[in-house]
Amino acid sequence: LCCVLWENAWEEFTPFLRFDTEIRRIVCTTNAIESVNARIRRAVKARGHFPNEQAALKCVYMAIMSLDPTGKGQARWTMRWKTALNAFDITFDGRLSAARQ
């Protein structure tokens, strides 16, 4: 089954292999993404109904900001990201560093 899925999606998968190892490692690691999604789901479920889209977006924003309430980017939230961020910056011609300024 896995081989059939892989063969059917080969054209979509091969461009991913052109990225650096650091980028592929971060993209394939889902623990961080799952953690953020779980935090967002928990916040949305606790509030239930939203009067409008702006209120829902604010809830999602606050849930994400609560991951690092100090805003100092603690090491545990950015573990293994430094090399990946550098690789992203090189791969995408400095768009990340331009956005941070």
Alpha-carbon gap, residue 6 to 57, rounded angstroms = 36
Tell whether the model's pLDDT for residue 49 goes beyond 60.
yes
| Identity at 15, one-letter amino acid code | P
Confidence of residue 10 (pLDDT cuts 50, 70, 90): confident
Confidence of residue 35 (pLDDT cuts 50, 70, 90): confident
Tell whether the model's pLDDT for residue 61 goes beyond 80.
yes
**What domain count does the chain have?**
1
Q: Which domain holds residue 33?
A: 2-100
- The reported pTM is 0.46
Average predicted confidence (pLDDT) for the chain: 77
Most confidently modeled of 24-33, 35-44, 61-70?
Answer: 35-44
